[in-house]
Amino acid sequence: MSKREHDLVPTHRILSRTEVNEVLSSLGITVGNLPEILASDPQAKKAEAKDGDVLEIDREDFGKSYKYYRHVVER
């Protein structure tokens, strides 16, 4: 059974290089400005994300759905 299927866990997806650039330029920020997620995080591991990747998170927050981004860091 996949842990990602928990009600509280949104889907995490690794963005490709081009997608990352699109997102960053549309927001007018650099990777360093994004919120972070540890590479050791259970969901980052599940998505097989590596240091430096950007994860797109499909959030469902108080009934509003939007995308959130987290920069994968190793610490």
Kindly determine how many residues on this chain lie close enough to bind another protein according to the rule CB under 8 A. 24
Residue 52 makes contact with another protein by CB under 8 A: no
Shortest spacing between CB 41 and another protein, in angstroms:
5
What is the Rg, in whole angstroms, of the alpha carbon atoms belonging to the chain?
12
* Contact by Cβ (8 Å): 47, 10: no
What does the alpha-carbon distance between residue 71 and residue 34 come to, in Å, rounded to a whole number?
6
Residue 67 makes contact with another protein by CB under 8 A: no
Residue 15 makes contact with another protein by CB under 8 A: no
**Which residues here bind another protein, judged by CB under 8 A?**
1, 3, 5-10, 12, 35-38, 41-44, 57, 59, 61-62, 70, 73, 75
